[in-house]
Amino acid sequence: MRIHVVRSGGIAGLRSEHDLDTEQLPGADRERLADLVRSAAFFGLAPDRSSRLPDMILYRVRIEDHGRAHEVLFDDACDEPSLLELVERVAELAKAMPH
Amino acid sequence: MRPNAGTPPRPALAAIVPPHVFAHMANLSDARWPGLASRGRESLVLSDEVRAGRCALLGVTPIRAEGSGAPKRTVHDAGNGFTLPGRAVRGEGDPPSGDVSVDEAYDALGATHRYFLEVHGRDSIDGRGLPLVATVHYRRAFNNAFWNGHQMVFGDGDGEIFGRFTRSLDIIGHELAHGVTQYEAGLLYFGQSGALNEHMSDVFGALVQQHTLRQTAKKANWLIGAGLWAEGIKGIALRSMKAPGTAYDDPRIGKDPQPAHMKDYVDTLDDNGGVHINSGIPNHAFYLAAVGFGGRAWVKAGKVWYHALTEVLRSTSNFRAAARATLEAAGREFGLDGARIVSDAWRKVGVEAKTTAGRGKRAKRARTAARRARQLADPRGAERRHRRAS
């Protein structure tokens, strides 16, 4: 599974991007990410779940898995904790990966 | 202030001594007037009781005391969790808690409330004394501060990129101003209207800071979020209204992307259409207008922008509409010289308040608006209109 996250907005308006191939991860991390994607029912989510509230950090997440691809926009006001954990974990894991 | 659909009409408070006088008395600690503070506190309680009693007699639901002028602050602690608002740790009039984030938030909410009341006669976010609610220590190492439609929320920062967000008075003013915009123009948070929403928060955040420090436009630093970057980050602030695009440049966070002119406007889908990026354009126009007027920025430029926000702009307004609204307000308040200062400021950032280009209904409407702006800017035009009307 490939996960691409673009983070933008927040009061500072900073932008960052992370790309992760879960096949490169240790089993436990790979499983946890797969669980989060399943638990959020990611491939069935509406493409735009952003709240348009001021200064929220905005996430654009694209996931490709077994020939399927889906992109979802959401922010910190999101009521789906799996999505917020997903972007936090992707950022941590992508930073820890060798470049 | 414009009336909000769905909200009750502003109730009149029938009292000879306004409650904010009692509130001021209640806070006095001057040895020359012993007993005044306690009498103020008693009167406040009494006036609340009278208000409640009056409602009971009339058989109506008690209304919130309006126009009392006293802030009603509560600062909560989220304990690094996700739940809002969290545990209340400092209420109005409580002594300092000893937690630096709590006390900074409390003081800054007070300074922001004082600015809006003293300068614009506005009592709190909604103009009707809405309690001010803030939460600190939200999530763990959270790199953000935001207004969620009901309250302000501040993270501690991760210590690598950001320090705690309550350090900056203008950032707290910025968040509270998002609340004011929500109750007034309701600028949609996307594209140009979203950049104007951000711009208004930067303007009033900066003015809260300048008002608290009693600075002139010339002396002020015009920085938003100075001191928020963690040690080692190459940057002086999140944004600069004086020189957009120069606030930071560091390999860990990139370079400040704010333009100062329409020719550099950034088209993007990120950041809700670049709301924190393109706000640099109107921000710089405000700076130029404030310096053009001279003196203290809140006296003239602040008054003009506040009028635009509360009386003219609508949810889908764009930069040109903001230029037109501020030009009209400047003309009305400060005559031709005022209109010229504001017009020059917008022209320097590439936004024309008037247009003569194009055909069709839109261009005709724009030409009519520009003509009206010029007429309003001309005091002789106002006299002529007055004569015609009478």
| In contact, B171 and B228? CB cutoff 8 Å | yes
CB hemisphere CA count around B238 (13 angstroms)? 29
Q: Looking at B61-160, which runs of residues are DSSP E strands?
A: 73-77, 87-91, 132-136, 145-147, 152-154
d(CA A17, CA B279): 22
pLDDT average, residue stretch B236-261: 97
CB hemisphere CA count around B112 (13 angstroms)? 35
Q: Angle, nearest 10°, between helix axes B36-58 and B19-26?
A: 150
**Whether residue B54 has pLDDT greater than 60:** no
Q: Which neighbouring-strand residues pair with A8?
A: A58
The four Cα atoms B255, B259, B264, B267 give a dihedral, to 10 degrees, of 80
pLDDT average, residue stretch A48-56: 96
Nearest alpha carbon to residue B104 among B25, B46, B31, B165: B165
Nearest alpha carbon to residue B309 among B212, B192, B184, B134: B184
pLDDT one-digit tens code per residue, B137-165:
999 999 999 999 999 999 999 999 999 99
**Whether residue B33 has pLDDT greater than 70:** no
Q: For chain A, which residues make up each domain, given as ranges?
A: 2-96
| In contact, A73 and A58? CB cutoff 8 Å | yes
Residue A60 region, left (φ>0) first, then alpha (ψ -120 to 50), else beta? beta
Helices (H), B133-190: 169-183
**Whether residue B256 has pLDDT greater than 50:** yes
In degrees and rounded to multiples of 5, residue B385 shows phi and psi of: -65, -40
pLDDT average, residue stretch A35-57: 96
Q: Which two tokens stand for residue B301?
A: 């430029």
Band (pLDDT 50/70/90 cuts) for residue B387 is low
Which active-site residues of B does the annotation give? 175, 276
Quick one: closest CA in A to B177, which residue?
Answer: A54
Q: For chain B, which residues make up each domain, given as ranges?
A: 1-67
d(CA B344, CA B352): 9
pLDDT average, residue stretch A62-81: 95
Average pLDDT value over all residues in chain B = 82
Q: What is the pLDDT, as a whole number, of residue B88?
A: 98
CA of B97 vs chain A CAs: smallest distance (Å): 26
Report CB contact under 8 Å: B146, A14. no
**Whether residue B52 has pLDDT greater than 50:** no
Report CB contact under 8 Å: A11, B238. yes
Q: Which two tokens stand for residue B297?
A: 């920025």
| Gyration radius from chain A CA atoms | 13
Q: How far is CA B85 from CA B53, B136, B368, in A?
A: 31, 9, 48
Band (pLDDT 50/70/90 cuts) for residue A97 is confident
Q: Looking at chain A, which runs of residues are DSSP E strands?
A: 2-9, 16-21, 57-65, 68-75
Q: Which two tokens stand for residue B278?
A: 């393109």
Q: What is the pTM of this model?
A: 0.80
CA of A5 vs chain B CAs: smallest distance (Å): 12
Burial tier of A88 (Cβ tally within 10 Å: 0-12, 13-18, 19+): middle
Q: What is the pLDDT, as a whole number, of residue B300?
A: 98
Considering only CB atoms, which chain A residues are within 8 Å of B148? 53, 77
Q: Which two tokens stand for residue B304?
A: 């003009």
Q: What is the pLDDT, as a whole number, of residue B104?
A: 98
Tell me, rounded to whole angstroms, the distance of Cα B208 from its chain centroid.
8
Tell me, rounded to whole angstroms, the distance of Cα B372 from its chain centroid.
27
Tell me, rounded to whole angstroms, the distance of Cα B66 from its chain centroid.
20
Q: At A71, is the secondary structure helix, strand, or coil?
A: strand
Cis geometry, peptide bond prior to residue B62 (ω within 30 degrees of 0): no
Amino acid at A51: S
pLDDT one-digit tens code per residue, B80-110:
998 999 999 999 999 999 999 999 999 999 9
Q: What is the pLDDT, as a whole number, of residue B82?
A: 86
pLDDT average, residue stretch A44-50: 96
Angle, CA B86 vertex, CA B82 and CA B89 arms, to 5°? 145
**Whether residue B21 has pLDDT greater than 70:** no
Amino acid at B196: L
What pairing do the DSSP bridges indicate for beta strands A2-9 and A57-65? antiparallel
Report CB contact under 8 Å: B270, A15. yes
- The b-or-e profile of B217-244 (16+ CB within 10 A means b, else e) is beebbbbbbbebbeeebebbbbbbbbbb
Unique residue bearing structure tokens 């922008």:
B305
| In contact, B11 and B66? CB cutoff 8 Å | yes
pLDDT average, residue stretch B255-267: 98
Question: Chain B neighbours among A 14-43 (CB < 8 Å)?
Answer: 14-15
Report CB contact under 8 Å: A13, B277. yes
Cβ–Cβ contact B80 with A under 8 A: no
Q: What is the pLDDT, as a whole number, of residue A75?
A: 95
Q: What is the pLDDT, as a whole number, of residue B42?
A: 40
Q: Which two tokens stand for residue B124?
A: 């709190």
CA of A13 vs chain B CAs: smallest distance (Å): 5
Q: Looking at chain B, which runs of residues are DSSP E strands?
A: 73-77, 87-91, 132-136, 145-147, 152-154, 223-224, 239-240, 249-250, 254-255
Q: Cβ of B360: how many Cβ atoms within 10 Å?
A: 7
Residue B226 vs residue B5, higher pLDDT = B226
